[in-house]
Amino acid sequence: MAEFLIFKTNGFKIIDNVQKLLYNKGMEIKPIAKIYTAFKDKFGIPRQSGRGKNLFGKIVFEKPFRSPDALRGIEEFSHLWLIFDFSENHRKEFSPTVRPPRLGGNVRVGVFASRSPFRPNNLGLSCVKLIKTEKTAEGTVLLVEGVDILDGTPIYDIKPYLPSDCHTDAKGSYANTTHKLKVDVSSYLTEITDKKTLEAIVSCIEDDPRPSYQDDNDRVYKMIFDDNEVSFKVVGEIATVIDIIKI
């Protein structure tokens, strides 16, 4: 209504200036929570949520957002969308193209035709399973499963996942291909490693966290999972876990 009055009295130029002012002002968003996971380093994190076993997270809300009323009814939903900050991937410059790992790291596609973490606003989207809410000294927290997010990552918003979010006729382009490694673990490591932790580690390695352009049979890869340093090698389609050391 205000723009209409300005238009009637001052003409098109003022309307154009008002719209530019509103556009240039932008929007400031603040983290509402942080998520704590076993992923202490970017290497080894699954490329999509829900792909690994026993990958848990705890969402702790910032003090201004710790009202129990903000979570009223959330346990009626089985899954949640998390909008988060790719906090370790901030760049000043904008690149209109990226190289998806699924295409071998050599083919470029538009950034908006990818889920690359290198984005203009560094926003990520992840779907997780809600296990339960829990009352703690830090307020009511959310315990979730199927995470693909770095430990300590800021969360900007949480929304319920709805059955209508699933489109069975959707096309996934290059992301449709499913590549899995076979993972071998020695009986010694299975004996000294907690079963659920080992399952989580194996599921992450199965997803092949290596950069797609690396194919060195002699290279030892290391990933940090919770308080474990995991070493493994890959020959062909088989990954062999060499060692799991407490750190």
Compute the distance between CA of residue 143 and CA of residue 39 in angstroms, rounded to an integer. 15
Cα 111 to chain centroid, rounded: 16
Q: Is-contact 204 44, C-beta < 8 A? A: yes
Question: What dotted CATH number matches 33-87+122-162?
Answer: 2.40.30.70
184-225 confidence digits (pLDDT tens)? 999 999 999 999 999 999 999 998 998 776 778 899 999 999
Which pLDDT score is estimated for 220?
96
Query: Which run of H or of E encompasses 13?
Result: helix 12-25
Which residue, among 164, 241, 235, has the nearest Cα to 200 in the 3D structure? Answer: 241
Q: How many CB atoms lie within 10 A of CB 67?
A: 11
Compute the distance between CA of residue 233 and CA of residue 31 in angstroms, rounded to an integer. 38
What tens-digit pLDDT sequence spans the chain (247 residues)? 444 444 444 444 444 555 555 455 678 889 999 999 999 999 999 988 988 889 999 999 999 999 999 999 999 999 999 999 998 888 888 899 988 877 777 789 999 999 888 899 999 999 999 999 999 999 999 999 999 999 999 999 999 999 999 998 999 887 776 678 999 999 999 999 999 999 999 999 998 998 776 778 899 999 999 999 999 999 999 999 999 999 9
Domain ranges within the chain, ordered by starting residue: 33-87+122-162, 178-246
Cα 242 to chain centroid, rounded: 27
Beta bridge partners of 231: 222, 243
Q: How many CB atoms lie within 10 A of CB 124?
A: 22
Q: Is-contact 156 83, C-beta < 8 A? A: yes
User: With respect to CATH, is domain 178-246 assigned 1.10.286?
Assistant: no
What is residue 111's three-state secondary structure?
A: helix
Beta-sheet pairing, 139-145 with 238-246 = unpaired
